[in-house]
Amino acid sequence: MNVSDAIKQRKSVRAFLPREVERSTIEQILDTARHAPSGGNLQPWQVAVVSGERKRQLEERLEQACRSGEPARMAYQYYPLEWPEPYKGRRVTCGLQLYSALGIERGDRERKLDQWAANFRAFDAPVMLFFFIDPTMETGAYVDMGIFLQSVMLAAEELGLATCAQAALGEYPEIVKQELGYGDEQILVCGMALGYEDKGNVVNGYRTEREGVEAFTRFFD
């Protein structure tokens, strides 16, 4: 698989097969991703790999927090507080595609909550990844982390695995850090579901649109 194919084939998967991912496979993915560039070669990423009983314990607490209405306390502001166009429209369309694929009607709050709560189980993928940075890092470290995250996803794609990068898994950082033994000062950036795609599930059958090059590019000759 070449890089272009991996980039175009990668998608956010929200239904996984009940098939374990070997530790050696995860190590291979991370061994590839560690070559991602970073400013000053700081390599600010730290990764927690969670599976098995530890995952079940953690996801139970996260889902309970979600369903009980506990306010999210993400370590940083991921989304804008106000939604100008074209970003608002893109976000709305993305959500409508998801609910349409699942047959969830606009007013069906119960099914919407069930689907949102699935985020905190990493959509039942066998593996959750959590990505941390030290509090001494600044904004540049988040840029570096984004490059690293893409590298993880592309390395997984090459090996036939599926992923879904999830800001939602960063919404209750205190729970995650408490369960995994990370210090209070560590910054949880996000999480990621990792496993084998359930290709027969309808939720994995749609693709979001991307803008053409001309929509976001200016050339200066």
Cβ-Cβ contacts under 8 Å for 203 (sequence gap 6 or more): 14, 15, 98, 101, 102
Phi, psi for residue 11 in degrees, rounded to 5: -150, 165
Question: What confidence tier does 107 reach under pLDDT thresholds 50, 70, 90?
Answer: confident
Q: pLDDT value at position 60?
A: 98
pLDDT-wise least confident of 31-35, 48-52, 104-108, 159-163: 104-108
Per-residue pLDDT of 152-198, as tens digits, reads 999 999 999 999 999 999 999 999 999 999 999 999 999 999 999 99
* Rounded-to-integer distance, Cα 164 and Cα 179, Å: 22
Phi, psi for residue 162 in degrees, rounded to 5: -115, 155
* Rounded-to-integer distance, Cα 55 and Cα 27, Å: 18
- Residue 64: pLDDT over 90: yes
Q: What does R_g of the chain's alpha carbons equal in angstroms?
A: 18
* Rounded-to-integer distance, Cα 191 and Cα 165, Å: 6
Report residue 126 CA to chain centroid gap.
Answer: 14
Residue 110 lies inside a defined structural domain of this protein:
no
How many Cβ atoms sit within 10 Å of the Cβ of residue 2?
A: 7
Q: pLDDT value at position 159?
A: 97
Domain count, the chain: 1
Look up residue 200 and give its two tokens. 């027969």
Q: First CA to last CA across the chain, in angstroms?
A: 34
Residue 52 lies inside a defined structural domain of this protein:
yes
The mean per-residue pLDDT over the stretch 86-102 comes to 93
* Rounded-to-integer distance, Cα 152 and Cα 194, Å: 10
Q: pLDDT value at position 106?
A: 85
Question: What confidence tier does 214 reach under pLDDT thresholds 50, 70, 90?
Answer: very high
> Which among 150, 147, 143, 128 is positioned nearest to 6, based on CA atoms?
150
Amino acid at residue number 56: R
Per-residue pLDDT of 129-159, as tens digits, reads 999 999 999 999 999 999 999 999 999 999 9
Question: What confidence tier does 118 reach under pLDDT thresholds 50, 70, 90?
Answer: very high
Residue 114 lies inside a defined structural domain of this protein:
no
The mean per-residue pLDDT over the stretch 71-90 comes to 95
Q: pLDDT value at position 181?
A: 97
Question: What confidence tier does 26 reach under pLDDT thresholds 50, 70, 90?
Answer: very high
Residue 210 lies inside a defined structural domain of this protein:
no
Q: pLDDT value at position 187?
A: 98
Q: pLDDT value at position 1?
A: 87
Residue 97 lies inside a defined structural domain of this protein:
no
Per-residue pLDDT of 2-20, as tens digits, reads 999 999 999 999 999 999 9
Please report which residue ranges of the chain form alpha helices under DSSP H.
3-9, 23-33, 52-67, 87-102, 109-117, 139-158, 173-180, 213-216
Residue 1 lies inside a defined structural domain of this protein:
no
Helix (H, G, I), strand (E, B) or coil at 195: strand
Residue 108 lies inside a defined structural domain of this protein:
no
CATH number for 176:
3.40.109.10
Query: What integer best gives the mean pLDDT of the chain?
Result: 96
Q: Kind of pairing, strands 162-166 and 127-133? A: unpaired
Residue 198 lies inside a defined structural domain of this protein:
yes
Look up residue 63 and give its two tokens. 């889902």
Amino acid at residue number 208: T
Domain that holds residue 190: 11-80+120-202
